[in-house]
Structure 1
Amino acid sequence: MHRIVPLGLLLFLLSSCAPTPGASTATPVPTTMHSPLSPSPTPVPPSATPTPTLSLPLTPTISPNDRAAFVSETYVDYTILKPGERFTKSWKLKNNGTSTWNESYFLYREVALQNEPLTSVERLPLAKTVAPGETAEFAVEMIAPEKVGIYTVNWSLRNAQGEIVPVDGGRFIWVTIRVCDGAQSCPAIPSAGSDANGVSATLVAFTPQPQRAVAAFCMTLPGPNYAPSPASVTLLLDGVSYPYSTGGSTSPGCFGFEFPVTIEKVQAAQSVAISIAQVRILGGPNDPEGACEAAHAALTARYPSLDFTCQFSMAGYYTNLQVPPGMSREQADALIVDAIEGAIYGPWQLTVR
């Protein structure tokens, strides 16, 4: 399956394994690359010139000219397999870019989220050229782990320079299986969505990288200016919270955030989730004076001893704050700003595993 990873990632394809590609006037020419579980060296034809193995960068860039579209796959997400069962996972991709894919392009095994790669294959080279508009099928023999659980491994298509060829805008395709023992119940499919106070959130993709983890999610919000408060978005590893390093909107209603944690830390965690504590009108309402007057009417009716004068400036929304007994100035300020900016509190927790 492929993932859109917004942030140059994602990210990312909400309700199904992959979007259905649109009709094409080009006639696809399928090309199948098959890799055995324990591959032996592939003989080089006499006319070919051997090339050294490409050393890949820790943080690969996206190819500016290459594009791919997801066509189909075998063993869709959460397919049930028995412990130790062999299977062949395949992806069919269409060349949607302007460059012709040649034998220097390859499928590369990226990340095993549970530290179970499912196969000894690390690279699967393209067997022949694939012109724009044509399709190629990549097939990899795999083995389900002996332990019951859910397992995901990310793969990417790379060009001769080691750049990632984005698939429908995302960095990766992947395989996700459920391993079930007949004597035990199958592990439940994790929920990737969350609802609270009229707002819903859906996880689009989660991608661990060597020095960071990247999450993409979309939300149904009450207005176009609403967004998660960045400081309220955290990564939870076994219940421990990690703040974001960069993040923001990637498209209307969709967001991408990066967290400074290593891939080893993510793989070692038993539970992984994204938590969003609140959403609000970031940057303030279009009519701050009007929003402040509405907040004033609502809050002074609820807290008779609370008062303030609406006066929008670079210093804030109001002046002349009068605080009720038992309430601190910080608490009063939070109440007023939340009301003016239409804050909605969750939390929304998006489970990765």
Structure 2
Amino acid sequence: MPTPPPPPDEIAGDVQPVLPAPEGRGRLRLTRPAAAALAAAAVGMGAAVLIAATANRGSETDGHIPNPSGSPSEAAPSAADCPVRATNPPWSPPVHEGDSAVFIGDITLPDCTRVGPGQTKTKVWRLKNAGTVPWKGYSLHRLDLPQRPDQCQTISDVPIEDTRPGESVDIRTNVTTPRNPGLCYVRFKLMDGSGRVAFPGGRPLNFQVIVD
């Protein structure tokens, strides 16, 4: 079976690639079939099924978000972690063949901007429709739900103006910072007009501001 092509970046340049650990410090990472086979040989088929199910968690090819909250499994990042470097999710094609998005830039509130507590600012991202599919009714859906009082507050679904292939679009939403200092790291996924994740294999768009 041929190896699938590398995952297309939903938002190219949104995050930096994670470099491999120095020799001798990296962790062995088995492919999904190899991990399942090893688990089956060691503890039986029941454990293999569990491992396979865990490996698939968070990425489904039908384009729906399996975990609506999208909460990261690791501890919440702090201001010292800014900018947060995310990794690519498992490879998956776009929901619509030929669809593609490219991150152009943060027009306002670039990563690690410092904002006072209890303030409302406007976040603006610029994306380009780099594919052949018109964006009609597209939106950004916030993954970090429900919103807690110690998080930056936004609307859950940010509308995107209809964008033809080759065009760029500015996407804006108001962000209200919490009263407590820390890092606001909020992630969004691009959704199509029917409410499906447009790029299941793409990295989330995000904003991250330091509240102090």
TM-score, length of structure 1 as denominator length = 0.33
Does the alignment pair 1:142 with 2:175? yes
The answer (yes or no) to whether the contact 1:68–1:93 under 8 Å persists in 2 is yes
What is the aligned partner in structure 2 of residue 123 from structure 1? Answer: 157
* Count of aligned pairs between the two proteins: 134
CA contact (8 A) 2:154 2:174 kept: no
- Aligned partner of residue 155 in structure 1, secondary structure: strand
Alpha carbons of structure 1 residues 123 and 114: separation in structure 2 relative to 1, 3 Å: closer
Mark the CA change 1:124 to 1:8 in structure 2 (over 3 Å): closer, same or farther. same
Alignment match, 1:170: 202
Q: What is the rounded CA distance, in whole Å, between the counterparts of 1:135 and 1:11 in structure 2? A: 13
Q: Distance in 2 between matches of 1:108 and 1:15?
A: 18
| Structure ID, larger Rg | 1
> Among residues 100, 106, 130, which one is paired with 1:67 in the alignment?
100
Which blocks of at least 5 consecutive residues in structure 2 are unaligned? 1-5, 17-63, 69-91
Q: Which aligned pairs between 1:32-47 and structure 2 lie closer than 5 A?
A: none
C-alpha distance in 2, partners of 1:11/1:126? 15
Runs of 4+ in structure 1 over 3 Å off: 6-16, 59-62, 112-117
Name the counterpart of 1:105.
138
Change (3 A) 1:12 1:113: farther
1:154 maps to: 187
Q: Deviations over 1:91-113 (max 9, x none)?
A: 110001111111x2111111269
Q: Compute the displacement of 1:117 (Å).
A: 4.7
Residues 1:163 and 1:144: Cα distance change in structure 2 (over 3 Å): same
Q: Which whole-Å deviations, capped at 9, do the CAs of 1:274-312 have from their partners, x for residues lacking one?
A: xxxxxxxxxxxxxxxxxxxxxxxxxxxxxxxxxxxxxxx
Partner residue of 1:93?
Answer: 127
Are the aligned partners of 1:78 and 1:177 in contact in 2 as well (CA < 8 Å)? yes
Q: TM-score, normalised by structure 2?
A: 0.53
**Alpha-carbon deviations, 1:54-74, whole Å to 9, x = none?**
xx5426974243211011112
| Equivalences for residues 219-258 of structure 1 within 5 A | none
Pairwise CA RMSD: 3.5
Question: Hey, which of these two has a bigger chunk of strand by percent?
Answer: 1
Q: Kindly provide the CA deviation profile for residues 212-249 of structure 1, in whole angstroms up to 9, marking residues without a partner as x.
A: xxxxxxxxxxxxxxxxxxxxxxxxxxxxxxxxxxxxxx
